[in-house]
Amino acid sequence: MLDYHLHLWPHDQADVSLQLEQIADYCDRANAAGVVEIALTEHFFRFVQSEPIVAGLFDDADPALRASMRGYWDRHARNDLDLYVETAVAAKEAGLPVVVGLEVDFYRGRMDAVGRLLDGYPFDVLLGSVHWIDAWRFDDFDPLSMGEWSTRQVDACWDAYADAIDELAASGACDVLAHPDLIKVAGHVPERPEEWWDRLAEAAASSGMAAEVSSAGWVKPCSEQYPARGLLDRLVARGVGLTTASDAHNLDRVADRADDLRALLSSAGVDQLVGFESRKPRVVPVGPAPAPGEGR
């Protein structure tokens, strides 16, 4: 098993001191759950290097949403990508079962610029994710963001999300589609989601990207893993490689519900995952659950 989606600090914490000890603790907790390798994947928007990419992107958005997004960026984009990568590389060189990664949020029309910037770093894996539609952060549970759901048609939201996934996947900037049906996070799903499941699965398959199977949705209003079983089956049928993930933002959630993910994969006929090194895929067995007392 893998945990290929881990953050080193919570969303409500902006300025951080990166420590190898924290990464070692993540590895120990993952190992105890039968996870053989973790990926450190902090959000690109956490780093000052994202500012030139984002500049002006939301200028034409609704004023309230634009102001909210500007405040969000000012609050989070305070850290140095170079230092983050150096710390992750140091953990890897110290022998920890770590790969160096980043979660790259979607920027409409600017993924080529993102790719050029990130090509200069020794990343092993880049996650691609869609967390906002224009300036609407649809998975942020603040009143403004959640209030948008009452003004929009669910099908239209899923259309816009699928359009963003299509562009993200086609850009070639990333290796794995993170939480591929995140648009359902607040519990809003079309009556017949099969059309969008087909689109999302095709985006992954046609681009050669892997897709993430994540336990994070089980603690959200949608109350199910990402992706939904219908989408997972479509990904498997199209031969899309899979990673597994917790999307943890603290130690307690690392490798969360790894056994449940293992059982889900088994029921879908999946016995191997895709790991990455220098952005090249390699096979990783799902592996059995650890016996009591096993681990580092």
Instruction: Please name the residues in contact with 116: beta carbons below 8 A apart, sequence gap of 6 or more.
Output: none
The per-residue pLDDT for 289 is 82
Structural contact between residues 53 and 117, judged by C-beta atoms closer than 8 angstroms = yes
pLDDT digits (tens, 9 = 90+) for 101-150: 999 999 999 999 999 999 989 999 999 999 999 999 999 999 999 999 99
pLDDT digits (tens, 9 = 90+) for 2-58: 999 999 987 766 666 788 999 999 999 999 999 999 999 999 999 999 999 888 999
- Inside any domain, residue 245: yes
- Inside any domain, residue 205: yes
- Inside any domain, residue 292: no
Q: How many domains does the chain have?
A: 1
Whether 239 shows a pLDDT value over 70: the answer reads yes
- Inside any domain, residue 236: yes
Whether 196 shows a pLDDT value over 70: the answer reads yes
Per DSSP (E only), the strands in the chain are: 2-6, 37-43, 98-105, 125-129, 176-177, 210-214, 242-245, 272-277, 280-285
- Give the predicted TM-score (pTM) of the model: 0.95
The per-residue pLDDT for 10 is 77
> Mean of the per-residue pLDDT values for the chain?
94
Dig out the tokens for 44 from the structure: 């690109």
CATH value at residue 159: 3.20.20.140
Band of residue 296 on the pLDDT scale cut at 50, 70, 90 = very low
- Inside any domain, residue 295: no
For residue 238, the enclosing domain spans 2-285
- Inside any domain, residue 272: yes
Band of residue 182 on the pLDDT scale cut at 50, 70, 90 = very high
Q: How far apart are CA 195 and CA 218, in angstroms?
A: 23
Dig out the tokens for 271 from the structure: 């016995």
Percent residues over pLDDT 90 in the chain: 89
